[in-house]
Amino acid sequence: SQEQTFLAIKPDAVQRGLIGPIITRFERRGYKLRAIKLIVPDRSLLEKHYDEHKGKPFFEKLVGFMGSGPVCAMVWEGKDVVKTGRAMLGATNPLNSAPGTIRGDYGIDLGRNVCHGSDSVDSAKYEINLWFQPTEIQQYDRAI
């Protein structure tokens, strides 16, 4: 069904000049970019975004890394985009992500894994609401 997902190109990938190639993959797949901004997320935003990882041994490292520079936050829309978006990202750990996926082609390690994507429709709603104001989400027609 038509749905929205939240993607965040992480600081490592922004610094490496990978925003364009990642956006191109989603545009070519026919998805619609509804919102986009560069933002250095503060600790409060990251604690909410990564709430499910609070208390895990890698939490502080994760929050430190994600706040270390600008993140490219986006909302993408399209048919089954949450699930297909995750498939396009590939496995979380670049050691396991297949060539042809974003992490499989660009990932360095488990922390610097290029891009985050929502893991369910519910978490997409939560994350979009956390990172964007309703007025930042644009409505327009696009042809495939």
Is 116 an interacting residue with respect to ligand CMP (CB under 6 A)? Answer: yes
Q: In the bound complex, what is the minimum distance in angstroms from residue 82's beta carbon to ligand CMP?
A: 13
Is 62 an interacting residue with respect to ligand CMP (CB under 6 A)? Answer: yes
Is 130 an interacting residue with respect to ligand CMP (CB under 6 A)? Answer: no
Using CA atoms, how far apart are residues 68 and 112, in angstroms rounded to an integer? 12
- Nearest residue relative to ligand CMP (C-beta): 58
Using CA atoms, how far apart are residues 94 and 102, in angstroms rounded to an integer? 9
Using CA atoms, how far apart are residues 19 and 70, in angstroms rounded to an integer? 11
Contact indicator for 115, 7 with CB cutoff of 8 Å: yes
For 120, phi then psi, to 5°, come to -160, 165
Q: Which residue of 110, 125, 126, 136 would you call a contact of ligand CMP, by CB under 6 A?
A: 110
Concerning whether 53 is annotated as a catalytic residue, the answer is: no
Dig out the tokens for 18 from the structure: 């990978």
Q: In the bound complex, what is the minimum distance in angstroms from residue 86's beta carbon to ligand CMP?
A: 9
- Among the candidate windows 36-44, 95-103, 105-113, 128-136, which touches ligand CMP by CB under 6 A? 105-113
Dig out the tokens for 33 from the structure: 């970019």
Contact indicator for 99, 90 with CB cutoff of 8 Å: no
Using CA atoms, how far apart are residues 110 and 127, in angstroms rounded to an integer? 21
Q: Which residue of 61, 96, 98, 129 would you call a contact of ligand CMP, by CB under 6 A?
A: 61
Binding site for ligand CMP (CB under 6 A): 53, 58, 61-62, 92, 110-111, 113, 116
Active site members: 116
Binding residues for ATP, by number, are 10, 58, 86, 92, 103, 113
